[in-house]
């Protein structure tokens, strides 16, 4: 999952990014002014945008409005020190999905981010099941046929993204875009390495592989018909 934080208070942005990376293993980009933030929001497919309202150059509401005008439906969480009811109403009217006022509780913030991302993939239930595999996106516990499987952070992120889009072919490019931020060194064979690692961990004697390669297009996770 890839998140964009547009927040001019640099330390706060770094803190949020750190929390999202550590607890959710999200890829996070930070932008500290409105102009750059808008540019990034339009150029990358984010799964969530955390938006401050009072930004240098371009205001948060303006960014939100231009995103929605272009038909971009990325979930947007407004994080601002403005707490007047009319500000909240204005934000919700402009098409934000959630609104939090500073100072906020980090735990609540993370929970709301999680819920927003889940909603993007149309899965209100935090537990996603594909055949005998079950991924709890809330506690990040993966079980296969009732047995708990431990995964590395990157492997989990990859698996979570695949199961959220279960049944769909996910291209390498999409995986790169959603799982890595700008700071990550991304090579296309990195994906292949993680995929094969993931396959090994999920291959516990079942005759049916879960992750399939679609030649020339990408990967798909689905229950193979027996």
Partner 1 sequence: MRSLSIKLQLSLMVSFLALVIVAVLSIVAYIKFEESLLGNIDTTLRYMGGAIRAELEEKGVPPENREAAFRAITGHDASGHPSQCHIWMEGSEEDLFTSDSPGASLAPGLLHPPAEERPDVGDLSLFNIAGVTESRAKSGLRALWMRRALQGQVVNILVARPSGQLYYELEEFLRLLLVSGGSVTLIVLLLVPRIVSWGLRSVTYAGKQLGQITHRNLAQDSMMTGSVPAELGPFKSALDGMLGRMNEAMRQQERLTADVAHELRTPLAVITSTLQILRMQPRTTTEYEEGVDDALQDLRRMAQLVGQLLTLARLDAVDKIPDPVEVRLDILLESLAEVFADRAEQQGASVVYTRSEAVCVQGDEAELRQLFTNLIENALRYGPQNGMVCIALQDGPSPWVTVCVHDRGGAIPPEVLPHLFDRFYRGDSSRSQASGGTGLGLAIVREIVLRHHGDIVITSDPHTGTTVTVRLPRK
Q: What's the min distance (Å) between Cβ of 135 and partner 1?
A: 22
Contact in structure between 90 and 135 (CB atoms under 8 Å): no
**Of the two residues 57 and 200, which places its CB atom closer to partner 1 in the complex?**
57
Residue 16 binds to partner 1 (criterion: CB under 8 A): yes
Residue 212 binds to partner 1 (criterion: CB under 8 A): no
**Of the two residues 9 and 174, which places its CB atom closer to partner 1 in the complex?**
9
CA dist 90 and 133 (Å) reads 42
Contact in structure between 109 and 98 (CB atoms under 8 Å): no
Which of 10, 111, 153, 193 is in the footprint of partner 1 by CB under 8 A? 10
Residue 35 binds to partner 1 (criterion: CB under 8 A): no
Q: What's the min distance (Å) between Cβ of 15 and partner 1?
A: 4
Q: What's the min distance (Å) between Cβ of 167 and partner 1?
A: 34
**Of the two residues 60 and 218, which places its CB atom closer to partner 1 in the complex?**
60
Residue 66 binds to partner 1 (criterion: CB under 8 A): no
Which of 102, 152, 200, 212 is in the footprint of partner 1 by CB under 8 A? 102
- The Cβ of residue 155 has, within 10 Å, a number of other Cβ atoms equal to 20
Q: How many H-runs (helices) and E-runs (strands) does the chain carry?
A: 8, 11
CA dist 179 and 82 (Å) reads 32
Residue 107 binds to partner 1 (criterion: CB under 8 A): yes
Residue 152 binds to partner 1 (criterion: CB under 8 A): no
Contact in structure between 15 and 60 (CB atoms under 8 Å): no
Q: How many residues bind partner 1 (CB under 8 A)?
A: 30
Instruction: Give me the sheet containing 76-80, strands edge to edge.
Output: 27-31, 2-6, 48-51, 76-80, 98-101
CA dist 96 and 47 (Å) reads 14
Tell me, what DSSP letter sits at residue 225?
P
Which of 39, 82, 140, 165 is in the footprint of partner 1 by CB under 8 A? 82
CA dist 46 and 43 (Å) reads 9
Residue 48 binds to partner 1 (criterion: CB under 8 A): no
Which of 65, 88, 106, 141 is in the footprint of partner 1 by CB under 8 A? 106
Give the interface segment with partner 1, choosing from 4-12, 63-71, 124-132, 146-154 (CB under 8 A): 4-12
CA dist 10 and 8 (Å) reads 6
Going by C-beta distance under 8 Å and a sequence separation of 6 or more, which residues neighbour residue 206? 132, 144, 145
Residues that bind partner 1 (CB under 8 A): 8-12, 15-16, 18-19, 22-23, 32-34, 54-57, 59, 81-84, 101-107
């Amino acid at each position: 999952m890839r998140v964009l934080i547009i927040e001019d208070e640099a330390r706060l942005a770094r803190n949020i990014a750190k929390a999202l990376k550590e607890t959710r293993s999200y890829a996070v980009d930070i932008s500290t002014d409105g102009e750059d933030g808008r540019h990034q929001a339009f150029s990358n497919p984010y799964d969530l945008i955390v938006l401050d309202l009072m930004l240098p150059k371009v205001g948060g509401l303006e960014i939100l409005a231009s995103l929605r005008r272009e038909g971009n439906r990325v979930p947007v969480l407004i994080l601002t020190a403005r707490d007047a009811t009319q500000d909240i109403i204005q934000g919700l009217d402009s098409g934000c999905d959630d609104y939090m006022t500073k100072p906020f509780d980090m735990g609540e913030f993370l929970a709301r981010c999680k819920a927003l991302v889940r909603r993007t993939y149309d899965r209100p239930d935090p537990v996603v099941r594909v055949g005998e595999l079950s991924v709890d996106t809330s506690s990040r516990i993966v079980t296969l046929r009732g047995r708990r499987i431990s995964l590395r952070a990157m492997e989990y992120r990859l698996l979570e993204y695949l199961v959220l889009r279960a049944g769909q072919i996910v291209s390498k490019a999409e995986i790169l875009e959603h799982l890595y931020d700008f700071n990550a060194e991304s090579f296309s064979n990195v994906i292949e390495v993680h995929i094969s690692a993931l396959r090994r961990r999920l291959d516990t004697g079942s005759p049916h592989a879960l992750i399939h390669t679609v030649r020339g297009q990408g990967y798909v996770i689905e229950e193979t018909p027996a």
